[in-house]
């Protein structure tokens, strides 16, 4: 038994010694360029998908700003840059969620975004800033309420979905370049 263990250990050591040839310092011919192209393609597709999501949602949240301030953080600057690329060619609105910010802080945040859009070449008439629900195609609330009411009647539960949506209050809306 002892002899078998010694023989097995010796074989294992010999095999491991053959694997210690060092690290390769040059890429295997032909695969590095292909791998880089594949990585670039995947990143491009991911970036396009993320950018399309940012444009579809067209919403800046309080977490896009440095905590308690009006200056955009790195995520906020990235998303405003994506939106600026879009708004240079397309008119639209940008939702800026007020959250629990004071009117003064919210207005400073609007000015910060206006300045960033202006620096990025977006003309004032191209985009309107407003506090509202996040973007996206979605469904009109009255259509959703009617659909839910019909489903409720069919199921016999009879729930009432006819309540009106809450009204927004706060600083209102602003047009880039000519806002409040």
Taking the complete model, does pTM exceed 0.85, yes or no? no
One-letter-per-residue 3-state SS of the chain? CHHHHHHHHHHHHHHHHHCCCCCCCCCCCCHHHHHHHHHHHHHHHHHHHHHHHHHHHCEECHHHECCCCCCECHHHHHHHHHHHHHHCCCCEEEEECCCCCCHHHHHHHHHHHHHHHHHCCCCCCCEEEECCCCCCCCCCHHHHHHHHHHHHHHHCCCCCCCCCCCCCCCCCEEECCCCC
Q: For residues 40 and 57, what is the distance between their CA atoms, to the nearest angstrom?
A: 26
Higher-confidence position of 171 and 146: 146
Highest average pLDDT, of 71-80, 119-128, 134-143, comes from 71-80
Q: For residues 144 and 39, what is the distance between their CA atoms, to the nearest angstrom?
A: 42
Q: Name the burial class of residue 76, with classes exposed (0-12), middle (13-18) and buried (19+) by CB atoms within 10 angstroms of its CB.
A: buried
pLDDT mean over 41-65: 83
Q: Is the pLDDT of residue 116 over 50?
A: yes
The pLDDT mean for the chain works out to: 75
Closest CA to 145 of 162, 165, 167: 162
Higher-confidence position of 108 and 158: 108
pLDDT band, residue 121 (cuts 50/70/90): very high
Which single residue is written with the structure tokens 């016999």? 156
Higher-confidence position of 88 and 153: 88
Architecture of the structural domain at 43-136+169-175: 2-Layer Sandwich (3.30)
Q: Is the pLDDT of residue 20 over 70?
A: no
Check residue 169 and give its pLDDT. Answer: 41
Check residue 8 and give its pLDDT. Answer: 58
């Amino acid at each position: 038994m002892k002899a078998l263990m010694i023989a097995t250990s010796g074989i294992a050591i010999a095999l491991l010694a053959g694997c210690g040839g060092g690290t390769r310092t040059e890429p295997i011919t032909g695969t590095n360029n292909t791998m880089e192209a594949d990585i670039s393609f995947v990143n491009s597709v991911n970036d396009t998908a993320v950018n399309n999501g940012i444009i579809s949602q067209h919403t800046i949240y309080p977490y896009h700003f440095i905590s308690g301030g009006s200056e955009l953080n790195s995520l906020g600057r990235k998303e405003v840059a994506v939106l600026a690329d879009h708004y240079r060619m397309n008119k639209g609105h940008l939702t800026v969620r007020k959250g629990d910010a004071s009117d003064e802080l919210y207005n400073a945040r609007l000015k910060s975004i206006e300045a960033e859009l202006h620096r990025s070449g977006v003309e004032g008439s191209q985009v309107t800033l407003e506090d509202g629900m996040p973007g996206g195609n979605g469904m009109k609330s009255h259509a959703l309420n009617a659909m839910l009411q019909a489903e409720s009647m069919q199921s016999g539960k009879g729930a009432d979905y006819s309540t009106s949506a809450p009204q927004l209050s706060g600083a209102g809306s602003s047009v880039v370049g000519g806002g409040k």
